[in-house]
Amino acid sequence: MTLVYFLIVIGILVFVHELGHFIMAKRAGVRVEKFSLGMGPKLFGYKKGDTDYIISALPLGGYVKMAGENPDEEPTGAQDEFPSKTVWQRAKIAAAGSLTNIVLAFLLMPLVFMVGTYAEGPAKVGYVEKGSPAEKAGFQAGDVIKEINGRRISDWTKALTLIAVNPDTDVAVTLDRSGEKKVLALRPEAVSELRIGSSGLMPDMPAEIGRLRPGLPAEKAGLRVNDKILAVNGKTIYHWNQFSLTVKESEGKDLLILLSREGKRAEKTIKPVMDGGRFVIGVEPAVRLVFKKYGFFESVQMGFTKTLETADLTFITLKKLFTFSLSIKTLGGPVMIAQMSGQAAAAGLSAFIALMATISLSLGMLNLLPIPVLDGGMLLFLAIEAVRKRPLSQKVMEVSQGIGAALLITLIAVVSYNDVMRLFFRK
């Protein structure tokens, strides 16, 4: 089913992209010879008017073939050929595919909130890891993050994303501490081979048991799901990570656990055991999220805001990648998209739509980069033509597109390598 969901996502996004080119070409009076969903050999199709509508064997792309567009064919000067149109008309055709993907993201994201999604709430700090950049910066449990580098923070997802894309970089964090505004300088440290920024800030997560592992000390001692951990060895516990760290550092010594169960308190003595290289008692946290649906107008507003935030984060990520501040190993290709599609579909319709909107937005933005062979490369050529009052020579364009193709192939090779390493050799 993962493959099916992947094909659905890619099929829809590629179709929308090429449909944008197709519609704008038709509006400009350009003869479209082929509209292909997929690349490679033709599987089946039909012809209507001047256009062959076909499905091709490789589902990882598509194309619209316009009259006079092939450099190997000498333009006849006919008015329905692509080169015969004005710079402005050709620019609109070139940009239409990417812009259609971006528009689709703005249309899809409000559906996420109408269908329903889990409400995160504000980015309230529940725990600060010892010795972490956050502790050094002066963060405290209960702080509510309002801004990072001037960007408004509405939830933990955006806060953690901005922290992740700023490894070894000073960021200004504006927070609310008991009604008082404070600005702290945080420098996330780069962790793992991906060089992802980590701060040591944790969302609010009470030490409440959500699952017991069979046969381990917690189950044997009589702990139950929904028990709340209040203290360990007389030390108050206010966050799951604090409780987990206490167990991990116990060195296997007995722990006196004070818990709350249905309004009553009880004490249990538990001896941690070694499992997977660390001490555990066999419990997992309870995750309580509120699923909420929103009205039409509120969904539109929230969807537009979320799409703009995603676009902003995409810009930041691209900038970090181009300046080598973020590892290229963070990039993923078809395999990662397929995995994410399957996971999102399993999580529900809302998550699946959100993933499709995010990928559509990224696809649109990436295609507008001024790299030959991408839509943005064509726009760059047309901008130069508008300034020079004549097009670049065929030789210059061919060399530029060759370089662009080499860069694109290299990028595809890198993300494919990343996909393979994640799939078969991840730790």
Residue with tokens 């805001």: 305
What letter represents residue 267's amino acid? E
Claim to verify: residue 139 and residue 214 sit in the same structural domain? no
CA distances for 384 relative to 47, 83, 391, angstroms = 36, 15, 7
CA distances for 133 relative to 21, 117, 191, 199, 215, angstroms = 48, 32, 12, 5, 37
Claim to verify: residue 184 and residue 198 sit in the same structural domain? yes
CATH of the domain at 229: 2.30.42.10
pLDDT at 316: 83
Among 262, 292, 322, the domain-final residue is: 292
**Higher per-residue pLDDT: 288 or 402:** 402
Q: What is the pTM of this model?
A: 0.77
pLDDT at 209: 93
Please provide the average confidence, as pLDDT, over all residues in the chain. 86
Residue 288 DSSP one-character state: -
Q: Residue 334 pLDDT > 70, yes or no?
A: no
Claim to verify: residue 190 and residue 251 sit in the same structural domain? no
CA distances for 317 relative to 90, 164, 371, 400, 418, angstroms = 30, 10, 17, 25, 17
Q: What backbone torsions phi and psi does residue 162 show, to the nearest 5 degrees?
A: -65, -35
**Higher per-residue pLDDT: 110 or 391:** 110
Claim to verify: residue 177 and residue 150 sit in the same structural domain? yes
Claim to verify: residue 139 and residue 215 sit in the same structural domain? no
Claim to verify: residue 270 and residue 367 sit in the same structural domain? no
Domain extent, residue 239, equals: 209-285
Range with lowest mean pLDDT among 150-164, 242-256, 293-307, 317-331: 317-331
User: How many domains does the chain contain in total?
Assistant: 3
* Total residue length of the chain: 427
Q: Which residues of 379-400 are buried (b: 16+ CB within 10 A; e: fewer)?
A: bbbbeeeeeeeebbeeeebeeb
Residue range 62-110, pLDDT digits in tens: 889 998 877 666 767 788 888 889 999 999 999 999 999 999 999 999 9
Claim to verify: residue 174 and residue 245 sit in the same structural domain? no
Angle value at C-alpha 193, between 187 and 198, nearest 5 degrees: 25
Residue numbers annotated as active site: 18
What letter represents residue 71's amino acid? P
Give the model's confidence band at 344: pLDDT under 50 very low, under 70 low, under 90 confident, else very high: confident
d(CA 162, CA 425): 28
Q: Residue 403 pLDDT > 60, yes or no?
A: yes
H or E element, residue 254: none
Q: What's the token pair of residue 24? A: 């704008």
